[in-house]
Amino acid sequence: MIYSIPYVILVCFFGVCAFFYEHLEEETHQRNIVILCVCVFFVFFGFRGYILSDWTSYYPLFYKCSLDDITNFKIGSVEPGYILLNLICKAVFEDFQFFVFICALINTALLLLFLRKRTSNIPLMLMLFISFEGLIIMTNLMRNSIAILLFINSIKFLENRNPLAYFAMCLLALSFHTSALVYFPLYFFFHLKCNKWVFLAVFIVCNIIFLFRISVFLSVASLIGADELFAKRIELYTEGYSKVTPLSIGYLERLLTGGLIFAYFNKLKEIRKENVIFINAIMMYFILYFFFSEFDVISKRFATLFVFGYWIIWHDIIRCFSIANNRLLFQSFIFIYCALKMIGTCNHPDYNYDNVLFGAKSYEERLYLYNKNYVDN
- Nearest 5°: the CA angle 122, 266, 194 is 95
- Facing residues of 355 across strands? 48
Q: Is 18 helix (H, G, I), strand (E, B) or coil?
A: helix
DSSP state string for 89-142: HHHH---HHHHHHHHHHHHHHHHHHHHTTT-S-HHHHHHHHIIIIIHHHHHH-H
pTM value is 0.90
pLDDT at site 73: 58
Q: Taking Cα atoms as reference points, which of 367, 343, 356, 361 lies closest to residue 10? A: 343
Sequence ranges of the domains in the chain: 1-179+347-377
CA atoms within 13 Å, Cβ hemisphere of 340: 9
The answer to whether 14 and 123 are in contact (CB under 8 A) is yes
pLDDT at site 313: 94
Q: What is the dihedral of CA 285, 289, 291, 294, to 10 degrees?
A: 170
Q: How far apart are CA 34 and CA 19, in angstroms?
A: 12
Q: How far apart are CA 20 and CA 299, in angstroms?
A: 37
Q: Kindly provide the residue ranges of all beta strands, DSSP E only, lying in 176-319, ordered along the sequence.
A: none
Tens digits of pLDDT across the chain (377 residues):
789 999 999 999 999 999 999 888 888 999 999 999 999 999 999 999 999 988 999 999 998 887 776 666 554 577 889 999 999 999 999 999 999 999 999 999 999 999 998 888 999 999 999 999 999 999 999 999 999 999 999 999 999 999 999 999 999 999 999 999 999 999 999 999 989 999 999 999 999 988 887 776 666 656 665 545 555 555 555 554 455 556 778 888 999 999 999 999 999 999 998 999 999 999 999 999 888 777 777 788 889 999 999 999 999 999 998 888 888 899 999 999 999 999 988 988 889 999 999 888 888 888 888 888 776 55
DSSP state string for 204-236: HHHHHHHHTT--HHHHHHHHTT--HHHHHHHHH
Q: How far apart are CA 50 and CA 365, in angstroms?
A: 10
- Sign, CA torsion 245/246/250/253: negative
Q: Taking Cα atoms as reference points, which of 375, 374, 209 lies closest to residue 299? A: 209
The answer to whether 289 and 311 are in contact (CB under 8 A) is no
The answer to whether 147 and 173 are in contact (CB under 8 A) is yes
